[in-house]
Amino acid sequence: MTVRVLLFASWADALGARSVDLDLAADATAADVLAALSERAGGAALPRPALAVNRAIVPGSTRIASGDEIALIPPVAGG
């Protein structure tokens, strides 16, 4: 399946886009998404992100489903 991952802050800068499309296996997990994106970032020194699925942070074991809203969440720095 193909999923779109939203990117923010340092990760958006490093990958030069606000989102990327990934081809994933049907049984892909959040950890697989993070691994695929780390590979795309190459050797760039980036803060370790979390993954949000449908606007909630999830553990790496979470299964990704087609149509999920997926976002890479670098360490937050609001306020």
Which residues bind to another protein, rule: CB under 8 A? 6, 8-10, 12-13, 30-31, 34, 47-52, 55-60, 69, 71, 73-79
| CB of residue 23 to another protein, shortest distance in Å | 20
Residue closer to another protein (CB basis): 26 or 56: 56
Residue closer to another protein (CB basis): 9 or 23: 9
3-state secondary structure string across the chain:
CEEEEECCHHHHHHHCCCEEEEECCCCCEHHHHHHHHHHHHCCCCCCCCEEEECCEEECCCCECCCCCCEEEECCCCCC
